[in-house]
Structure 1
């Protein structure tokens, strides 16, 4: 396979479409490069030698269209681009599967670095790391301040009963991958159900908001929030709970789950919560529930990966250690609820 023609992307067909739909945009032959693979949506950079764009499409041979909804991703970044939320400028949505074999969208390329581990953050130093993470909180406040109706997203989700549906959904996911005893997981699920908080006014929820889903550019400012595939209208504190969870050091040597929480200068979870509360004006007194829910959700996701590993359905390294992490996440969830 030519490096100019990675699987799932045909630069000649793509250029033909762009020349028809956005005449004058592309000034030469396109080359493409896959920058993300795996079971999630595929991301490519394409360039004509002068300008660069990004293409997002579902995985090759995808089955669940709803889990890889290009129209939905394109819609949310199109709605948010005129706001202060940093997202790439959308260029084109193509639902014609004849072009690349699946629906896809094109957006402008944004300069910046995704930081996935504490080691990658180390060269920034403590002060710059702190500023980057605090700006992550400020960006989340900005996202949750957007009025969904004002940007055309009033029907982007079903916020009524959002937490109850989420809890039931992840409970079903757990049941689908049960093949061993997991101490405490049913207690965690049941306790979350008994203590379900009353949600604040709904907001646009990212669904996977963390440092490695944003790009950090010059001045350590966030240049783009990426990976909107789980976005919806719902309880904004679910985003905060997930961010808090990822900000708690796991201290598990050799863990296949990357975290930036141990980086020098990384603010403590309490500071992140206080900053969000001060800048958003929201009541965060139930943050322990949302953080425990994040631990539960990640435990379920990891158990699903472990289940597929036991069936021989995973490819790559590190999967043999995923199963050992699940009880740790369950314990963190239970402890968080007890302390909250």
Structure 2
């Protein structure tokens, strides 16, 4: 037996404990993830959003403390859990759904991606090695008792590298508090919220094609350019689909967001779903929905759903696509706050 094999159960245990501890305060986001990943309805309950992270913590602690048959049972459960996570993430990525997995609570807000698949595949492999490598049934405490000075040095170095890698992958660079900038360009009658993808310089923005067509709810062709420029409003263009689980929270809130934005901005939902499916599943989003999304999706490069793009009132593109229901909700909240601050700053007669 090589004592350094203990790194595999130790890694899985630390990941499980960290995941559970960071996920526990984020129960509402965990429930949203259940919906987005297509978890069966009976499990989309508040008790499940508590049970999952608590179970992860208990499982991780058991991996560190148990030995013998009990260890092998716990290690098998951990491997099954990692394999399940891998399967649901791979399915969502294959469907091009921008799902926020809430894997590590507030530290992980980006949608799942190919990188998430590779990470989960590596964890699944580590969990399997924690079962089948020689001496694993001895358990972590017994294996540590066999450690030499060189083994402890190797383990410490490996743990340090792993910790740096995990922190670098999860923690995003700090972003200063949102600020607003006034654009005096003609047709630009709003303040933009500063965000990571904002194109604040009007001269650097591409224009919306004058020929890009959508289809209204009554089947009439509409030019996207006219939908934005004629009413002279900022537009939040949202790409969504009825079949996309993580689009549900977005489509169900479109009406509320529109009322919140008032006359300062409009929301346009673009979809490839049929009118009948939208009517059946999200009737409140119908007044904001246009169909025939293929051309718009290709032009704007919206590679997954839900996605959102900010369009300026002068017919230019003010941001690149951003993905995931949590990020979209945050962006709209920021935009609404910016408009509210702008109104308060205006002199009153």
- TM-score computed with the length of structure 1 as normaliser: 0.25
Structure (1 or 2) with the larger CA radius of gyration: 2
- TM-score computed with the length of structure 2 as normaliser: 0.25
